[in-house]
Amino acid sequence: MSYDVGIVGAGVHGVSAAFHLARRGVSTVVFDRSTPASGPTGRSGGICRAYYTDPFLAEVAHEGIAFLADFGERTGGGQSGFRRTGAFYLHGPDDVQAARETAARLGPGAETLGPEALPQLETEGVAVAVWEPGAGYADPFATTLGLAEAARGHGAEFLLDRPVAAIEEGAGGVTVTTADGSTHHLGTLLVAAGPWTAPLLRPLGVNLPLTVERHVVAILEHDPADTAGLVPYVLIDVAGGYYSTPQPRTQYLVGGVVPASPADPDDFERTVTPEETVRLATVSARRSPARRRAVPVGGWASLYDVSPDWQPVTGRVTEHVLVDAGTSGHGFKLAPAWGEHVARLVLGEADPRLAAFAPSRFEGGGELAAGFGAARILG
């Protein structure tokens, strides 16, 4: 079988690129060891925000959120599960100037406030808060499936449950051999396999400085007596080191915004431990009295593929091979619009600003600034 472009990885980034390529008439095939969103994508917290310290990422995130909000029309009927709740970002004294500058770049899309603007929260240690009314959360699993179905509608093929066994590059393109022994000839290969990206590329002599971390999420349920005090918006407590999002009924989701422990992507604990749940419940309850009697009802552990500067690694690594990885746990809301930038890169029409995220930046000391202090995941 021959295709113009092959993509390894049916997470939201790989599937988004497939959608944008296929709708342009490019013959595209997606390989995955399992099914769409079966890896880290399906375990994402799903936060949708444009509050990025990098102006280009802020712009792409804004475009991605607009795509998610208008998902059905753009995909021909898919559902993203997007809910616009707004988001508050809480910063300590060291972040005041950077928070104000970041909010200012968003223009009317963000407002800087003092901690007194949050009477329903405990604001000890908070020097400044930023309100982003356009933020919210979405369903990463539904989003990926919707993009995949739309890509199929434009002619893309998906070879699922087909682990890639070998990648060989020649003068005319790339040959991918899957575990069932079948071979596929591609003009261009995009590797968007999250935590498995770096190992897949090593046989080609490409050594990306990507690492893998295990991050956990806990889901908690409010006590019925406390529902009047629910936090109805996304809360990213940079000063406290966690994020939370409202969930259906009276539940909320909590995860961390700081680096976590290294992990083997093929052998890691997929459940959140009781100790991890208690830690997340405790830090989130410090801000919200309504959360102090909440009880755990679930959770999970997922993987982040982390670049040295916690920013995406997107660009060409050999003549016929490109990479889109290293989104470090904050790539979901970027994906619907980032996939279009990747498609244009594949076709030789890239936005010049995308070059800042090329893998080669790590060879020349060109790491990008990211986030606030230890919370580099905020990008």
CA distance 229 to 93: 27
CA distance 118 to 289: 13
CA distance 27 to 150: 14
Residue 254 has pLDDT above 90, yes or no: yes
CA distance 24 to 154: 8
Return the percentage of the chain with pLDDT > 70, whole number: 100
Token couple for 34: 């399992």
Are 81 and 142 contacting, i.e. CB atoms less than 8 angstroms apart? yes
Q: Each residue of 310-324: pLDDT tens digit?
A: 999 999 999 999 999
Average pLDDT, the chain: 96
CA distance 50 to 63: 9
Within a 10 A sphere around the Cβ of 270, how many other Cβ atoms? 11
Tokens 């552990």 belong to: 301
Q: What is the pLDDT of residue 366?
A: 87
Q: Each residue of 91-133: pLDDT tens digit?
A: 999 999 999 999 999 988 899 999 999 988 999 999 999 999 9
Q: What is the pLDDT of residue 282?
A: 97
Contacts of 377 by beta carbon, 8 Å cutoff, 6+ apart: 257, 258, 304, 310, 328, 329, 330, 371
Are 377 and 327 contacting, i.e. CB atoms less than 8 angstroms apart? no
The total number of residues shown for the chain amounts to 379
Q: Give helix 335-346 / helix 55-69 axis angle, nearest 10°.
A: 110
CA distance 360 to 357: 8
Three-class DSSP category at 189: strand
- The mean pLDDT value for 78-99 works out to 97
User: How far from the centroid of its chain's Cα atoms is residue 14's Cα?
Assistant: 12
Q: Each residue of 283-340: pLDDT tens digit?
A: 999 999 999 999 999 999 999 999 999 999 999 999 999 999 999 889 999 999 999 9
CA distance 316 to 339: 15
- The mean pLDDT value for 362-371 works out to 90
Three-class DSSP category at 321: strand
Whole-angstrom Cα Rg for the chain? 20
Q: Each residue of 140-161: pLDDT tens digit?
A: 999 999 999 999 999 999 999 9
CA distance 164 to 33: 7
Q: What is the pLDDT of residue 217?
A: 97
Give residue 125's identity as a one-letter amino acid code: G
- The mean pLDDT value for 268-282 works out to 97
Within a 10 A sphere around the Cβ of 161, how many other Cβ atoms? 13
pTM of the model as a whole: 0.96
What is the dihedral sign for C-alpha 357, 196, 11, 163? positive
Sheet strands (E) in 238-335: 242-246, 251-256, 261-262, 295-306, 313-316, 321-325
Q: What is the pLDDT of residue 365?
A: 85
